[in-house]
């Protein structure tokens, strides 16, 4: 559960930077024990497709590292948005595009070489630009999305895959995948060790977490100026900055 713990710890740190005391928080998660340890005062909600959240019942809703499992991430965030009071905060964290890039590569290359085709063996992940757009689609104000990449090392590919199963991150599309032969997996493990091992012989695995933040709209929030109302031209500001840099 170290990645769940890392995500919860990062969310805690981000909340410390918000000048606000939240009195009615909720956490959406598939791992209640982990997140309850970090947010003991929060209402813990299972990450079902229909979230058990009361409309307007919370000033903070956290979606805890399970959005990538949803069949409809927009609807998940929209439900969180409806659960917020005006000027309430949504914070989400999810795995994103670079996650398990090494495992994807070796499985694809090995299967093409040995079977002449591909099966969906690793859950596809959204890119940060798409995840940021989800916040706007859900009607959240002041949306922000940023990425944190963590590299973890394992003894070999099989140790990585055992850990993925233990953390509940097995292949969601396994029913659509063809049966994996032991020979293919051994060949993939050898390719992994050849291409992605360090000097100590341990393989690396990348996990990208994208953190999402947005606010339920409220009249007190900052709003962009209307086009044509700026007091200075952007071109003039850039020219001044270049001139300053040349000195």
Count of beta carbons in the 10 Å neighbourhood of residue 169: 21
Rounded distance, CA 80 to CA 26, Å? 9
How far, in whole angstroms, is CA 53 from its chain's centroid?
A: 21
The H or E element that residue 96 is part of is: none
How many angstroms separate the first and last alpha carbons of the chain?
A: 52
Give per-residue pLDDT as tens, 74-124: 999 999 999 999 999 999 999 998 999 999 899 988 988 886 655 655 666
The CATH number for 2-246, chosen from 1.10.3720.10, 3.40.50.150, 3.40.50.2300, 3.90.580.10, is 3.40.50.150
| Three-state DSSP class for residue 114 | helix
DSSP 162-174: HHHHHTT---TTT
Closest by Cα among 102, 72, 61 to 216:
61
| The pLDDT value given to residue 194 | 95
What are the structure tokens assigned to 25, written together? 């928080």
CB atoms within 10 A of CB 123: 18
Per-residue confidence (pLDDT) for residue 169, from 0 to 100:
80
pLDDT at 121: 54
Residue 232 has pLDDT above 60, yes or no: yes
**Tens digits of residue pLDDT in 118-148:** 565 566 677 888 888 889 999 999 999 999 9
Residues 138 and 77 sit within 8 Å (Cβ to Cβ) = yes
Q: What is the mean pLDDT of residues 18-27?
A: 93
Cα–Cα dist 10/136, whole Å: 23
Q: What is the pLDDT of residues 40-63, one digit of tens each?
A: 999 999 999 999 999 999 999 999
Q: What is the mean pLDDT of the chain?
A: 86
Q: Is the pLDDT of residue 186 over 50?
A: yes
Least-confidence region, from 82-91, 164-173, 203-212, 222-231: 222-231
Domain boundaries, the chain: 2-246
């Amino acid at each position: 559960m170290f990645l769940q713990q890392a995500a919860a710890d990062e969310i805690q740190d981000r909340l410390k930077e918000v000048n606000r005391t939240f009195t009615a928080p909720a956490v959406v998660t598939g791992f209640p024990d982990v997140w309850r340890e970090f947010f003991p005062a929060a209402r813990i909600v299972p990450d079902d497709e229909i979230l058990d959240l009361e409309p307007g019942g919370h000033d903070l809703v956290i979606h805890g590292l399970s959005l990538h499992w949803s069949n409809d991430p927009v609807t998940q965030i929209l439900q969180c948005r409806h659960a917020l009071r005006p000027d309430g905060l949504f914070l989400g964290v999810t795995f994103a595009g670079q996650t398990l890039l090494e495992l994807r590569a070796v499985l694809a290359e090995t299967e093409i070489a040995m079977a002449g085709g591909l099966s969906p063996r690793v859950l596809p992940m959204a890119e940060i630009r798409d995840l940021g757009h989800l916040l706007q689609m859900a009607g959240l104000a002041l949306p922000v999305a940023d990425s944190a990449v963590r590299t973890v090392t394992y003894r070999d590919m099989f140790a990585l895959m055992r850990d993925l199963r233990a953390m509940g991150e097995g292949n969601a599309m396994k029913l659509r995948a063809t049966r994996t032969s032991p020979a293919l997996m051994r060949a993939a493990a050898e390719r992994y060790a050849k291409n992605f091992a360090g000097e100590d012989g341990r393989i690396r695995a990348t996990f990208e977490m994208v953190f999402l933040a947005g606010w339920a709209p409220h009249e007190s929030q900052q709003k962009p100026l209307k086009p044509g109302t700026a007091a200075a031209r952007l071109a003039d500001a850039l020219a001044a900055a270049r001139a300053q840099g040349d000195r």
